[in-house]
Amino acid sequence: MTKTDRHTGTTDVVRLTDVRKDFGDYAALDGVSLTIGAGEAVAVMGPSGSGKSTLLNLVSGLDRPSSGSVVVGGQDLGGLDEKGLALFRRRTIGVVFQFFNLLDDLPALDNIALAGQLSGLKASAARERGLELMGELGIADRRDVYPAALSGGERQRVATARALMNRPALLLADEPTGALDSRSGEQVMQLLADLNELGQTLLIVTHDPRLAAQCARRVVEVADGRIARDRSTAVAR
Amino acid sequence: MSAVLRAARAAVARRRLQTFVLGVVVLVSSAMVVATLGLLAAVSGPFDQVYAAAKGAHVVAEFDAARVTPEQLTRAAHTPGVSAVAGPYPEAVLHQAAMTGERPIGLAGALTVVGRDRTDTPVDVLKLSAGRWATAVGEIVLDLPPGLGPLLITTDRHLTTPDGTDLKVVGYTDSASRSAGGWVTPEQARALHAGSWQMMYRFHRAGSEAELRESTAAATTGLPEHAMTGVSSYLAIKAALAKGPGTYVPFLTVFGVLGLLVSVLIVGNVVSGAVVSGFRHIGILKALGFTPNQVTAVYLLMVTAPAAAGCALGAVVGGVVGKRLVRQAFWGISGGQLVRDGAGIPGWAYPVVLLGMPALAVLSALLPALRARRLPAAVAVSAGGAPRTGRGLAVQRWLSGSRLPRAVSLGLGWPFARPGRTALTLSTVVLGVTTVTLALGLSASVVGYGRSQQQTDVIQVQAQVGNAQWDPTPATHTDEQLMALLRAMPGTAHVRADAPLETRSPGSSEVVQVGVQLGDSEALHPDLVRGRWTAGPGEAVVSGEYWRQHRVSLGQTIVLTDADGRAVPEKVVGETSGGWDVTSVEWDRFVKLSAGRRAMTFSVQLTPGTDPAAYAAAAGRLDPGLRASVNGGADTMEKVIISVVSTLTLLLIIVSALGVFNTVVLGTRERRKDLGMLKSIGMTPRQVVAMVVTAMTALGALGGLAGVPLGMLAHRIVIPATGRSTGIDLPASLLHVWRWQVVLPTLLAGAVIAALGAYLPARGAAKTPVAEVLRTE
């Protein structure tokens, strides 16, 4: 089923064309072209050093390609300056990291609300939206708990809620279960699958075949900076 | 190379910026400490040694040549209490000696001339600053007044005595004992009708006036009654010498203490930060097999190396700057050359600083290093990885719910996360602001003092009178004619003529500087500390210094010698804070002692609305020898004090800003991941800068609120202390310098210092490579 991206009205959320990324003499990505449609859930897999994290950084605007074009949510990232990229990250994408990256000094709700406040939402509105997300993600009772007192799974849910705060066109997840025990990992996988079920476009970078199998309908395998395989997969729900 | 050294070197190399900041802070602090110690030592210490080295006279005495013979004087001086004696030398006093060739040096008036055949006498060794000693009749060496700087024998300068004897100036010197105004050969002195013998004594006991009186009495035992006609003590010279630098002592002490406090805080801050941010490194060292003692040694070495390098360089810089400050501080003070030549940075200051500053750095590092020593390897390795328990939570929560832009509210909450470091940084800013406030207050007071001395609020135009004795374009009108011409000019409210000169009190060899005035003296008089202005002949006003030195009181009569050598009794009716020793309006009796025997300047008060510049230009056209200018501009002392204060303030601001810089560098380094995350969720580079600068500016603003009152308090202590140590009764108005135009910018000074220190690291934080930071774990 093909959906239309609500931000752009187009069907493609991500379009990478002949992208190359060099680190000195080393090409982390070499001639990668990839399109991700709205509502798709794509897992990028590959061994360490294959280039999958570089791919995610390029798509999230955290890094710039050496050549080729990266268009996400209808925006050509090559044409954006630092501020433009920041606004892009704020409005178009949400990122879930392996190690959560929560601010230790803020309780769970304020960590989530932070993304909304940066986008210009008033504190009360941001907290309201944060509580709504916490309820959806099953952690409403942890709103005033600080990251140090949360379990790994709870931290990742808080991080996911923060990523969803601004209703991003694309949710990126970088090894989202990598730092979790198996039970917490299961919970996060289920959460991502549910989000995709609700129409959220997903791009997941993972080593974990179970995560790929559970959350993604399409697996892109990267090796030596190139796309070695791009296949659809049956999603186990 | 041992493993400890290798690890310490690697740690230094890895923290290049931190090492650099530490080195620079220690450098600036050491330089400031060395310079301050040098100044304080020069002010408090060297006079006695330097005076002894110059074999300065404890007592210079004059004896009536008609009552006592040289043999009697020499015999009487052979007593156990006398350690050295010079003389008797024939002495003459020249009234109304005229100088030709160029503008005269110093004040004209009574000149004491002594006949001495050599410079290296057992007492009062003279060092020629230019030319040669007088070896023939017709030659004279002059004592160079302070503040003139080196004077060379470049032109043909002559001194003509009232009876027409011509003396060629062949050299200049600076007598430590101020024993005479000029020296000639003994034959020449006799030819000048020397009526006195001069004797100079150094005593074993000369610590007080009482001891000097006793020692002098012993050295003159057996001499005919009333043989001794005048005596002057070195304690007066010492007091006069201490007066100028005494201006600097109170504020230098305060600045020195502030500097040391700021340095201690910053070194502590830098070192603790370096150790705390190196916990992960400590864990790795321990995992590799370093013993706890070795770990401690690595951290202490890491800190000692830049501290020692900064300290060594700072000592050199401080030595150079300190010597310059000493030269500035003693410039223009009678006998100051002695101290300037003899005083530098005291030898003990260098080892104190070279050992003290690194020791301070090591002490500051010791606590965190011992913490590192006790830290289990596993905990140290995971430092930074595991979430910290949040701190300052209530504030953070309140801020996150506030209406402020989120970048700003995040920044405001930042200082609460590390309260210890925040307290150190805040203290640094507070001290920086205190310094700035004190400096502004001091400058305002100094300018105010200068204004009251120059009377810029009363006198708007001053006109110098060209003198026929040395000026190529002398005034063609008499003083009275010039006075009338000036009075007739449109815009003139009051006019006064001034003629400064030197005279003596009968029976004393001490020179008294007199300002004699003609015209509207009362209307143009300066602020009085007590009493009233002179109402006419027979009354005088004295300076605070003269008041103190001669313990005069209102109504007391002092006696001066006029141009004809006659005694002039003057009743003291008032005291001014500065100015000449004595101000008199007995123009006709004294003016002939002045250079050129006429007015040196005319001071004019203008009617409201008159343009001073236009008036000065018009006044200049009255007479080709009248050079009129607008009264104003800072004097030397003002400039020196303001430049010294500015230099010290600038150094303290730099050190304070470096302290903030270091805090921000540490903070952004520790929060690299947080910054990366914030950027990943859409924080713009400008918001990152705003967040970091806000954090420090908030601290700076707090520092301003605390530092301004502290600075004002310090000002309130320093100004009266300066008055006491300089022997000047300062008007209370010098304390009331705080106007909102001064206070408001000072309140912002803390925020500015903090913002300055924070901006660069904030820019660096804004450029944090997000992908790399977030990937690294």
Q: What is the pLDDT of residues B423-464, one digit of tens each?
A: 877 887 888 888 888 888 887 887 777 777 777 778 888 888
- CATH code of the domain containing A24: 3.40.50.300
What's the mean pLDDT when you consider all of chain A? 88
Closest CA to B260 of B343, B174, B349: B349
Nearest to B693 by CA among B483, B480, B407: B407
Q: Does residue B389 belong to the interface with chain A, where contact is any CB pair within 8 Å?
A: yes
Instruction: Please tell me the pTM assigned to this model.
Output: 0.63
CB nearest A90 (choices: B402, B682, B775): B682
CA nearest neighbour of B236 among B581, B568, B637: B581
The string of DSSP letters for B65-118 reads: TTT--HHHHHHHH-STTEEEEEEEEEEEEESS-EEESSSPSS--B-EEEEE-S-
In this model, does residue B591 exceed pLDDT 50?
Answer: yes
CA dihedral B47, B52, B55, B56 (to 10 degrees): 40
Quick check: ipTM above 0.85?
Answer: no
A222 contacts A46 by C-beta, under 8 angstroms = yes
CA A158 to chain B, closest CA, distance in angstroms equals: 14
pLDDT at res. B743: 85
pLDDT of residue B725: 64
How much is the average pLDDT of A15-22? 95
Do A36 and A232 contact (CB within 8 A), yes or no? no
A109: in domain: no
Taking an 8 Å cut-off on Cβ atoms, the answer to whether B682 and A127 are in contact is: no
Question: How far is Cα A30 from Cα B603, in angstroms, rounded to an integer?
Answer: 88
The average pLDDT across A61-84 equals 92
Of A57, A86, A155, the CB nearest to B682: A86
Residue from B681, B687, B775 whose CB has the most chain A CBs within 10 Å, to mutate: B681
What pLDDT score does B301 carry? 83
For residue A225, give the nearest of A67, A4, A117, A13 by alpha carbon. A67
Q: Which two tokens stand for residue B610?
A: 């008159």
> Is residue B277's pLDDT more than 70?
no
Burial (CB count within 10 angstroms: exposed 0-12, middle 13-18, buried 19+), residue B423: middle
Residues of A in contact with B688 (CB under 8 A): none
Percent pLDDT > 70 in chain B is 79
Binned at pLDDT 50, 70 and 90, residue B635 comes out as low
Among the listed ranges A24-28, B329-333, B424-428, B542-546, which one has the minimum average pLDDT value? Answer: B329-333
- Is B8 at the interface with chain A, CB within 8 A? no
Going B574 to B580 to B586 to B587, the CA torsion angle's sign is negative
Q: Is residue A155 part of a domain?
A: no
A136 located within any domain: no
Contact of B776 with chain A, judged by CB distance below 8 Å, is answered with: no
Residues of A with Cβ-Cβ distance to B675 under 8 angstroms: none
Task: Please determine, for residue B714, whether its predicted confidence score (pLDDT) is greater than 90.
Answer: no
Omega within 30 of 0 (cis) for the link into B80: no
Exposed e or buried b for every residue in B716-737, given b needs 16+ CB within 10 A?
eebbebbbebbbbbbbeebbeb
For the cut 70, the answer to whether the pLDDT of residue B96 exceeds it is no
Q: How far is residue B469 CA from its own chain's centroid?
A: 36
pLDDT for residue B379: 63
Closest C-alpha to B719, from B704, B701, B702, B731: B731
Q: Read off the pLDDT band of A4 (50, 70, 90).
A: low
CA angle B345, B346, B348 (to 5 degrees): 125
Residue A188 domain-assigned?
yes
pLDDT digits (tens, 9 = 90+) for B334-369: 455 555 555 567 778 888 888 888 888 788 777 777
Structure tokens belonging to residue B701: 């603003």
Structural tokens at position B103? 């503008």
Does A177 lie at the interface with B, CB-CB under 8 angstroms? no
Does A191 score more than 50 pLDDT?
A: yes
Which carries the bigger pLDDT value, residue B389 or residue B137?
A: B137
Residue with the two structure tokens 């700021």: B262
H or E element at residue B173: strand B166-173
State residue B248's pLDDT score.
59
Above 80 in pLDDT, residue B214? yes
Highest mean predicted confidence (pLDDT) among A65-74, B263-272, B424-433: A65-74
| Residues B387, A147: C-beta atoms closer than 8 Å | yes
User: Collapsing DSSP states into helix, strand and coil, what is residue B50?
Assistant: helix
pLDDT(B633) > 60: no
Q: For residue A44, give how far its alpha carbon lies from the nearest alpha carbon of chain B (Å).
A: 16
Least Cα separation, residue A175 to chain B (angstroms): 10
Q: Which of B105-114, B495-504, B606-615, B637-646 has the lowest mean pLDDT?
A: B105-114
Q: What is the pLDDT of residues A87-137, one digit of tens each?
A: 999 899 999 988 888 888 888 999 999 889 888 888 899 999 999 999 988
Report if residue A30 sits inside a domain: yes
Contact B481, B663 (CB under 8 A): no
Query: Of A206-210, B107-111, B722-726, which one has max mean pLDDT?
Result: A206-210
Q: Is residue A68 part of a domain?
A: yes
Contact B542, B580 (CB under 8 A): no
Residue B101 has a pLDDT of: 47
Residue B566: per-residue pLDDT: 81
CB contact under 8 A, B674 and A63: no
In this predicted structure, the answer to whether residue B83 has a pLDDT above a threshold of 70 is yes
**pLDDT band per the 50, 70, 90 thresholds, residue B103:** very low
pLDDT top residue among B37 and B766: B766
B621 touches chain A (CB under 8 A): no
Under the banding of pLDDT at 50, 70 and 90, the label for residue A27 is very high
pLDDT bucket at B605, cuts 50 / 70 / 90: very high
Percent of chain B predicted with pLDDT > 90: 6
Question: What is the spatial distance between Cα A168 and Cα A13, in angstroms, rounded to a whole number?
Answer: 11
Average confidence (pLDDT) over A193-204: 91
Nearest to B397 among A110, A119, A166 (CB): A110
Of the candidate ranges B116-125, B571-580, B764-773, the one whose mean pLDDT is the lowest: B764-773
Q: How much of chain A exceeds pLDDT 70, in percent?
A: 94
Among A157-171, B41-55, B277-291, top mean pLDDT goes to A157-171
Instruction: Say what the pLDDT of residue B149 is.
Output: 47
B/e letters for B549-585, b = 16+ CB within 10 Å, e = fewer, are: bbebeeeeebebbbbeeeebebebbbbbbbbbbbbbb
Are A123 and B396 in contact (CB < 8 Å)?
A: no
Res. B21: pLDDT tops 80: no
Segment among B162-166, B193-197, B216-220, B699-703 with least mean pLDDT: B162-166
pLDDT of residue A215: 87
pLDDT at B147 over 50: no
The pLDDT, as a whole number, for residue B777 is: 43
**In degrees rounded to 5, what are phi and psi of residue B635?**
-85, 175
Give the pLDDT confidence score for residue B487 in this predicted structure: 92
> What pLDDT, on a 0 to 100 scale, did the predictor assign at position B662?
78
Averaged pLDDT for residues B390-398: 70
- The answer to whether B178 and B58 have CB atoms below 8 angstroms apart is no
Domain count, chain A: 1
Predicted pLDDT at A236: 45
Q: Of B164, B159, B123, nearest to B141 (Cα)? A: B159
> What's the pLDDT score for residue B722?
72
Q: Is B777 on the interface with A (CB under 8 A)?
A: yes
pLDDT at residue B334, as a whole number: 47
Provide the residue range defining the domain that includes A223. Answer: 12-104+169-232
Could you report the per-residue pLDDT of B453-468, keeping only the tens digit for each? Answer: 777 778 888 888 877 6
Q: Is A117 in Cβ contact with B406 (below 8 Å)?
A: yes
Which 271-330 residues of chain B touch chain A by CB within 8 A?
none
A4 touches chain B (CB under 8 A): no
Alpha carbons B159 and B775: distance in angstroms, whole number: 89
A139 located within any domain: no
Query: Quick check: B504 pLDDT over 50?
Result: yes
Q: Which two tokens stand for residue B685?
A: 């580079």
Q: Which one has a higher pLDDT value, B624 or B299?
A: B624
Does residue A237 lie in a domain region? no
Is B400's Cβ below 8 Å from some Cβ in A? Answer: yes
Instruction: Give, for B514, the enclosing helix (H) or strand (E).
Output: strand B511-519
Helix axes A82-91, B685-726, angle to 10 degrees: 120
